[in-house]
Amino acid sequence: MPGSYSRFKGRGTGRGPSAAAIRFFKPLPPSVAARTRLDGVERNRSRILVGRDARLLDRLYRLCPRRTARLIYRKMEALLPR
């Protein structure tokens, strides 16, 4: 289903993300995301992280880059059609 959370279902679990995960990672409104990016550019920031998920992945990647890259790879692979 386009636009639904069903595309994020885990492989083999038959379940989608929990309600808490959906609330935690809900998308930012475009206006907030744009304002965050513009503020970062105006302040000459080298890293501009928009949203909780970006901040979480940034921290994970700094702690253990290989493991985080594998996690992202597996999650992206699960989204591709077979």
What is the tens place of the pLDDT at every residue in 50-74? 998 899 999 999 999 999 999 999 9
Question: Does residue 1 fall inside a structural domain?
Answer: no
On the question of pLDDT at 6 being above 90, the answer is: no
Number of domain units in the chain: 1
Question: Does residue 27 fall inside a structural domain?
Answer: yes
Question: Does residue 47 fall inside a structural domain?
Answer: yes
Residue 16 one-letter amino acid: G
- What is the number of alpha carbons within 13 Å of residue 45 lying toward its C-beta? 12
pLDDT given at position 8: 47
Range of the domain at 63: 18-79
Mean pLDDT of 5-30: 66
Residue 30 one-letter amino acid: P
Question: Does residue 11 fall inside a structural domain?
Answer: no
pLDDT given at position 80: 83
pLDDT given at position 13: 54
Question: Does residue 41 fall inside a structural domain?
Answer: yes
Q: Kindly state the tokens that stand for 10.
A: 């885990």
Question: Does residue 4 fall inside a structural domain?
Answer: no
Question: Does residue 58 fall inside a structural domain?
Answer: yes
Q: pLDDT, tens digit, for every residue of 22-51? A: 777 778 899 999 999 999 999 999 999 999
